[in-house]
Amino acid sequence: MQHMESDHLVLTSVRRDFNNVAVVEDLSLTIKRGEIFVLLGPSGCGKSTTLQLVNRLLDLDGGSISLEGIDIETIDPVELRRSIGYVIQQIGLFPHRTVAENIATVCNLLGWSREETHARVEEMLRLVDLDPGIYAGRYPHELSGGQQQRVGVARALATAPATLLMDEPFGALDPIIRRQIQSEFRQWVQELGTTVVFVTHDVDEAVLLADRMAILGDRCRIEQLGTPLQVLGQPASRAVEQFLGHDRVLRALTVIPVTRAMTENADGGSPQNQGPILSSAASAHDALTLMLRNGSESVTITKSSGTSLGKVTWHTLIDAALKAQEGTT
């Protein structure tokens, strides 16, 4: 997670009505600079509406929103939207434009030079792991769904916006591609120092991506706010517990570093002949998966150099899960 020095986006008593009925009511949130903040809740609770209020696609019916201390109502809507990245599930690539032209959209609107834009397009394609020599000249219909979504993210990040709004951007992808892009996404935005507000109804996605998350109920009422471990470990209510699911402790293992679920070696050494091996950068859930797949009683955890750090066993995994449930991990 990026070092968060100050408030970046502040929502105060925000309200939005449709047909005289509140869809978002009295929502107050403070999002820190550089964090990935996830709005998690069921369909229809007002998550997407909240994003549209932030970039002024919808007008407020009450309350206020400030971005870096400036009331967004005082900012020209077009200029505001050009300064904020926005990615939706439908991606919204222009079908008649090449990949390079799509990524360059906001760069051109802001009057960047041709040379500067070209360099940025190539940089962004490399960031999202698409070879510029292969993909820059292609059209959206020549890409897979996962490749299209990578281009959508590259376009949103092309001008290095301080803020990125994402409305269930990976929901239409198949599970394998979705998990791969989710894992890479954190690295992309951390490299750029971007503050992200991410909307989803998928608990696993929220847990994997969030620095902090807000569980939302009807009319965007905050049921609970905290880190994934705080929320999973100590649900604030029965309703939150039910929404998270009965396997919430297992989900917590995905955000517990594997090094916090192992016993350390007394003297270190080579991991040879010590059963399945896992990198110290993995999660406790990765260790669980590896042990189940191999039918093993333990997994050896190693540094990038190959030196053994310790072992994860069924006992240490259970201990880590219980600590997560107690909120002490």
Same domain (yes/no): 23, 148: yes
Residue pair 156/164 in contact by the 8 Å Cβ criterion: yes
Residue 1 covered by a domain: no
List the one residue out of 231, 269, 265 whose CA is nearest residue 248.
Answer: 231
List the one residue out of 81, 93, 90 whose CA is nearest residue 154.
Answer: 93
Same domain (yes/no): 64, 120: yes
Domain interval for residue 312? 256-326
Q: Residue 13, Cα to own-chain centre: how many angstroms?
A: 25
Same domain (yes/no): 209, 106: yes
Same domain (yes/no): 190, 267: no
Sequence letter at residue 173: L
Same domain (yes/no): 268, 206: no
Q: Token digits for 57?
A: 């696609």
pLDDT of residue 182: 85
pTM for the structure as a whole: 0.83
Same domain (yes/no): 159, 269: no
Q: Residue 205, Cα to own-chain centre: how many angstroms?
A: 7
Confidence of residue 170 (pLDDT cuts 50, 70, 90): confident
Is 237's pLDDT higher than 90? Answer: yes
Strand 36-40, strand 212-216: pairing:
parallel
- List the CATH number of the domain containing 298: 3.10.580.10
- Lowest average pLDDT, out of 11-15, 194-198, 238-242, 301-305, goes to 301-305
- List the CATH number of the domain containing 128: 3.40.50.300
Contacts of 318 (CB under 8 A, 6+ apart): none
Give the H/E segment covering residue 148: helix 145-157
pLDDT tens digits along 2-40: 445 689 999 999 999 999 999 999 999 999 999 999 999
pLDDT of residue 163: 95
pLDDT tens digits along 286-328: 999 999 999 999 999 998 878 889 999 999 998 888 887 776 5
Sign of CA dihedral 15, 18, 21, 24: negative
Same domain (yes/no): 175, 318: no
Residue 155 covered by a domain: yes
Sequence letter at residue 237: S
Residue 217 covered by a domain: yes
Number of domains in the chain: 2
Sequence letter at residue 54: V
Is 270's pLDDT higher than 60? Answer: no
Give the start-end residues of each E strand in the chain. 7-18, 21-32, 36-40, 62-67, 70-71, 84-88, 163-167, 195-200, 212-216, 222-226, 263-264, 277-279, 298-302, 308-313
Segment 180-199 mean pLDDT: 88
Q: How far is CA 38 from CA 35, 88, 319, in A?
A: 10, 14, 28
pLDDT of residue 322: 81
DSSP, collapsed to helix, strand or coil, labels residue 275 as coil
Q: How far is CA 118 from CA 29, 95, 149, 191, 194, in A?
A: 38, 20, 20, 20, 22
Is pLDDT larger for residue 175 or for residue 1? 175
Is pLDDT larger for residue 198 or for residue 169? 198
Report the alpha-carbon angle 274-279-285, nearest 5. 95
Q: Which of 252, 270, 294 is the last residue of a domain?
A: 252
Residues for the chain: how many in total? 329
List the one residue out of 242, 215, 176, 164 whose CA is nearest residue 39.
Answer: 215
